[in-house]
Amino acid sequence: MKLKDILKNKGTKVWTIEANQKIQDALQILFNQKIGALVVIDEKEHIAGIISERDIVRACYRKSSGLNSTLVSELMTKKVITASSEDNVKDIMQVMTENRIRHIPVVNEGKLDGIVSIGDVVKLLLEDSEHQIRSLKEYIYGSNL
């Protein structure tokens, strides 16, 4: 299974924000779209970072004065791990686990093609396991299940 299998079902829409926008803008998008992270892009629409709910919550704890004037660039993760749609889902799950990240932008030929969350990966692996179990049962017991 490849990441393109996830994107085929999930779609390739990626919510983005610019680094010079306010955290309030990021919060509004995260809340309205019911998502957990935004890809931060520069003026050429290249990936500059990623900002997640976790980044914002940690900043809230550190900054008791509030985040009203804070820019996305101040809180975003600048070192972004990306993947290709041809990458193996199990390999990406390992990368996510080892790096303690929950979102990986999918980039092909320098173009942002989607974003995959740990939830997307787990969902696909569960569906695949269920399919394998069903196939094995049909093989063992016949197709009359």
Give the confidence band of 77 by pLDDT, cuts at 50, 70, 90: very high
Residue 52 has pLDDT above 80, yes or no: yes
Q: What is the pLDDT at residue 142?
A: 81
Nearest to 70 by CA among 17, 131, 123: 17
Nearest to 27 by CA among 55, 46, 48, 47: 55
93 vs 79: CA distance, rounded Å? 18
User: Mean pLDDT, to the nearest integer, of 50-72?
Assistant: 86
129 vs 82, more confident: 82
Q: Which one-letter DSSP state was computed for residue 44?
A: T
Give the confidence band of 31 by pLDDT, cuts at 50, 70, 90: very high
Give the confidence band of 144 by pLDDT, cuts at 50, 70, 90: low
Domain residue spans of the chain: 3-141
Q: Other C-beta atoms within 10 Å of 101: how many?
A: 18
Beta pairing class for 37-41 and 16-18: parallel
pLDDT per residue as tens digits for the range 107-143: 999 899 999 999 999 998 888 888 889 888 888 888 7
**What token pair was written down for 128?**
């695949």
- pTM given for the model: 0.80
Provide the CATH topology of domain 3-141. CBS-domain (3.10.580)
User: Mean pLDDT, to the nearest integer, of 9-38?
Assistant: 95
- State the average pLDDT for the chain: 91
Contact 47, 82 (CB under 8 A): yes
54 vs 142: CA distance, rounded Å? 48
Q: What is the pLDDT at residue 64?
A: 66
